[in-house]
Structure 1
Amino acid sequence: MLQASAVRAARQRYREMAAVLNEQSRRRFVALEAQALGRGGVSLMARISGLSRSTIYHGLLDIRHKVSAPPGRIRQRGGGRKRKLLEDATLEGDLKGLVEPVTRGDPMQPLLWTARSLRNLVKELASKGHRVCPTVVGGLLRDMGYSLQANSKTREGSHHIDRDAQFHYINAQAKAFLAAREPVISVDTKKKELVGNFKNNGREWRPAGTPELVNVHDFIDPKLSRAVPYGVYDITNNVGWVSVGTDHDTARFAVQAIRRWWRTMGKKRHPAATRLLISADGGGSNGYRVRLWKVELQKLADQLKLPITVCHLPPGTSKWNKIEHRLFSFITINWRGKPLRSYRTIVQLIAATTTDTGLRVRAELDQNKYPKGLKVTNAELAAINLSRHSFHGDWNYTISPKPRTVARRKTN
């Protein structure tokens, strides 16, 4: 039976030494204390230190055989459990393939989240030949930028009966285009911003007591200038283009932004492109019901001499668009706490947005006028060279360049 005084002394010595011990020295110190205590010392030191009995026995073996790690190291070379990714090279890719088609993203946060549980993901990974536990899957998801969110934060708008099927269809189309090395872009209009000395949410480091001074009120006033950022995100190259408009957010403005992206960035990065895939929201200036959107896309297809395939996100899912959490969220982070006093400031802040994963953005001001209320006649709509896909042709369609008409020569 261990004496109470010896137990108290051992506990006190460990408390005094624990803060300065590393993994190796802690194991040996606890093993020496257990050895000095005699019978029952291993169990007692396990309770005091929190180390497992097997770890303490390993420490005793190290002392007995005079085992030591190489200078400058705590463990022997190759010691410790290997990361699962080193043992299973395809694990991360298969996990990303499971969560990516159903990924949701908040445009104001860089985090992603998935609706699938860890145990369900483990089962699906097991069917692909991966032996992994829920804890490891959770760690991998956190490393990939995912976070588990409450159900109340993932409910968005109405739930269309074909919502999930449309997401799978968009994913299949994008994978086919990317496999063929054809350009795939995600487009949308970012939240309109007031231009002036107004408060911008967020904080940034400044000398104490010297905050940016802005107007007390920012009431909505039709006379105030507004910036209309329309973005194009190149999924293949992780680059973005933003046209900062000064007029209305119309379909003509949206297509002009895509045109400027192609002329400035897209053509150089996709010189061998034979077609283009656009993923867009179901509403707004690029909505599937907007006639002018299709008319302007026909003009673009004729100019680029490329068929343009469009896949719209189903209603109520605008925040799921890739551009929201791959581009717009980082723009918001970059200019947080900075008053957007001028169009030049907005363009510069957008263009300065980068990420550790290699995102680069180019932004330019578009001061052209884009009047609202332009009417498209039935004849103009019928003239579009549009072919609807077999699945939800209202959401998925391809606009091809119009065939050239060759004038016949008159013969006498």
Structure 2
Amino acid sequence: MDNEHTYDKANAACGETGPYAPSLFGSWTGPAIGLLDLDAFFASVEQLDHPDWRGKPVIVGGSPDRRGVVSTASYEARTFGVHSAMPSAQAKRLCPHAIWTDGNFSRYRELSARVMAILADETPYVDQVSIDEAFFDISPGRFNSESPLAVVRRISERVNALGITCSIGLGCNKTVAKIASERDKPRGLTAILPGTEEAFLAPLPVRTMSGIGARAEQALAQRGIHTLGQLAGAPDDILAPVFGANTTSVRQRAQGRERSRVHAIDEASPMKSLSNERTFAHDLTEQADIEAAIDVLGESVGRRLRKCCLTGRTVTLKLKYGYGSGRTAQRTLEAPTDDEHIFCRAARELLHTIWSPGVAVRLVGVCMSGFDHESGVQTNLFCELDERGAASSEKRALSVAVDGVIERFGSSAVGYGRSMRFDHDVVRRDKYS
């Protein structure tokens, strides 16, 4: 590993040389959750497949001449200020000598599957959250008796042997592992020893924790809260106006006391659908509100589809009514897509088949399925197929740009005005099955 770190103030007194004293890691107690993040994944694969591109700035994304957006930039390109979600035209101005490519998504999926197989060799508990990122549980005694550090070192070495690199964070829960994984990229390994989580988190800016975006950061700053340590100790009356029903869970995460579960892999049941549904504190009775809810849910579904490099053919709309019953409607699209501007339009068209004006709706759900799009595709004048054989609208580039902003700055950093009508009024549930 190029960058290996532990957070432990007692290392100097442990009686053994080096930052990874066996006495420390051999006695790791409690959960050991890792987060593996592939470094500049798409660009790294391109450099692997094109040896003459290695050491040079590589940008994967849409054409700078056609209002494209950067998907991934190699670390060589990042030194010029290029980053994901940046307009391609701007990236070209910053790094005019960069090598550009539209990308090879089937190749990315192939390498991703090989990395996930490495994790599956080490533990049956793996949560893949995107094509280049996965949580895994290597808690001693649950499935293995090895030091968690020995396991993550071996994982890193095996990934390196594929010709790409990763950064890994190791801690007692997903929040700690995620933050640790971002400490030393690329090729980093950061382990947060049991019992040091709160001290590790305390001095970090609140934005370091996922789920806290620009608006929440500003609201916290107005209340004198700038670090996770201050957030961890803040009372309910300070935090509730910012986080609502999520106040307790946010505070626990800032304290390092979150309890995380990594689900077991079921190889016989690959992901078949991806959905998002919300239960509303106040029933929706107006068509405009229900359609806005469909669009808001669809944004999340589209973002997850793109993050997982999935495109689906089938959209399902789910409603539950104020009096307890519910209905669903489904439509198969003419071409697979990850573009909410396409599948949400279909979902809105389904609304009139299962809802009548005035009927109270307490839950709305949007689901995409039918992820196998290798078969032939039929299209029409209202959609175009991109290089993946998927349907894309002119607005997809905007969605990709929003994805990048949210990935970098949190879910509250940017959004559409329609989502504001539902703030603090919903219970949200994302589902992957």
TM-score over 0.5 (shorter chain): no
* Structure with the higher fraction of residues in strand conformation: 2
Calculate the TM-score normalised by the size of structure 1. Answer: 0.24
Calculate the TM-score normalised by the size of structure 2. Answer: 0.23
